[in-house]
Structure 1
Amino acid sequence: MVKLTEVEDEHFAQEKPQPSKHNVLLASDDEDDDFTDTESEISVESDYDVEGETLYERLSALKDIVPPSARKQATNTVDYVTSFAKSSIAFSGKALWILSTSAFLLGVPWALAYAEEEQYIQMEREQGMIKGANEMLAPGAPSTEEQKAQPTL
C-alpha cells in the first residue's frame, strides 16, 4: 500500500498566505512574484540553429498566432483553390485529348486528299504547258491527243 505525504514548498512554508475578505487566498497583490523562479539560470546561448531553419518550420511555429477561425478559412480557401485547379487541369487534359484525336481522325485524311488534289492540278498544268510548247514548235500539227481521237483507215 502507498502512503502519500504532503511536501510543502519552502517559499510557502515560510510565508503563509492570509485569507482575504471573500475567503480567497491571496499571498499578495503582485501575483508575478509567486511564479518567478529567481534561482534558475537563463541561458543566453542556445543550441538551436536559426540559420538551418526551413520556411515550413518557421510558418508552422507561427500557427498559434493565427486564430483558429482564420486558419480554418485559409485552409478552406486553399482546399477550394487546389480542387478547382485539379478539376481544371483534368478538364483541360480531356478536352485536349478530344481535340487531338479529332484532328488526327478528320484532319489527316483531309490533308492527304487535299495534297492529292493539288498534285492532279499541278499535273494538268504541266500537261497544258507541254501542249502549248508543242503548238508553238509545230503550229497546225495535230497533237498527240488529236491523233489518238482520229480513226485510222
Structure 2
Amino acid sequence: MVKLEEVEDEELEKAQPGPISEDEDDDFVDTAGKGLWLVTTSTVLVMVPYALAYVEEQQIMEQEKEIRAQERLQNEMTPGVGGAGEPRGAGL
C-alpha cells in the first residue's frame, strides 16, 4: 500500500511582497506637504514686499515724470523770464 506524506512548500512560508502599507504612503505625503508649504510660504514672504516696493517705485517715477511735464509747461507759458542758466526771477 502507498503511504501519503504531506510536505510543506517552502515558497508558501516565505513573506510575499504586497502593496505599500498606508504608513509608508502617509510619510511621503506628509514630507511632500511640508516641503511644499515651506517653498510656498518662503516665496510669499520674499515676493510680496518686493512687489510692493516695485509698485511704489513705479508710482514715484510716474509722479516725477508728471512734475517735470508741469514744470516744462509752466516755463513755456511764462515768456521772457530767465534763460536756461538763470534762476527764476533773476530777470525781474
TM-score (norm 1): 0.39
Q: After TM superposition, what 4+ stretches of structure 1 lie above 4 angstroms from structure 2?
A: none
Give the aligned partner of residue 72 of structure 1: 16
Which residue of structure 2 lines up, in the alignment, with residue 106 of structure 1? Answer: 46
Return the offset for 1:98. 1.0
Among all aligned residue pairs of Structure 1 and Structure 2, give the percentage whose two residues are the same amino acid. Answer: 27
Q: Distance in 2 between matches of 1:121 and 1:98?
A: 35
Which of the two has greater helix per residue? 2
Q: Distance in 2 between matches of 1:88 and 1:94?
A: 10
Shift of 1:109: 1.7
**Shift in CA distance, 82/68, structure 1 to aligned 2, threshold 3 Å:** farther
Q: State the Cα distance separating 1:101 from its structure 2 match.
A: 1.8
Gapped regions of structure 2 (runs ≥ 5): 3-10
- C-alpha deviation, 1:100, in angstroms: 2.0
Q: 1:116 to 1:140 in 2, by over 3 A?
A: farther
Q: SS of the counterpart of 1:72?
A: coil
C-alpha deviations, 1:118-147, integer Å up to 9, x for none? 1111110111111122223234436xxx54
Unaligned ranges ≥5, structure 1: 1-21, 25-66
Which residue pairs with 2:65 in the alignment?
125
- Mapped to 1, the partners of 2:80 and 2:30 lie a distance apart of 72
Larger radius of gyration, structure 1 or 2?
1
Q: Indicate how the Cα distance of structure 1 residues 139 and 92 shifts in structure 2: closer, same or farther if over 3 A, else same.
A: farther
Q: How does 1:14-25 map to 2 (within 5 A)?
A: 22=1
The answer for the alignment partner of 2:35 in structure 1 is 95
Cα RMSD (Å): 3.3
Deviation of 1:88 after TM superposition, in Å, equals 3.1
Q: CA deviation at 1:80?
A: 6.3
Q: Using the alignment, how far apart are the partners of 1:125 and 1:147 within structure 2?
A: 21
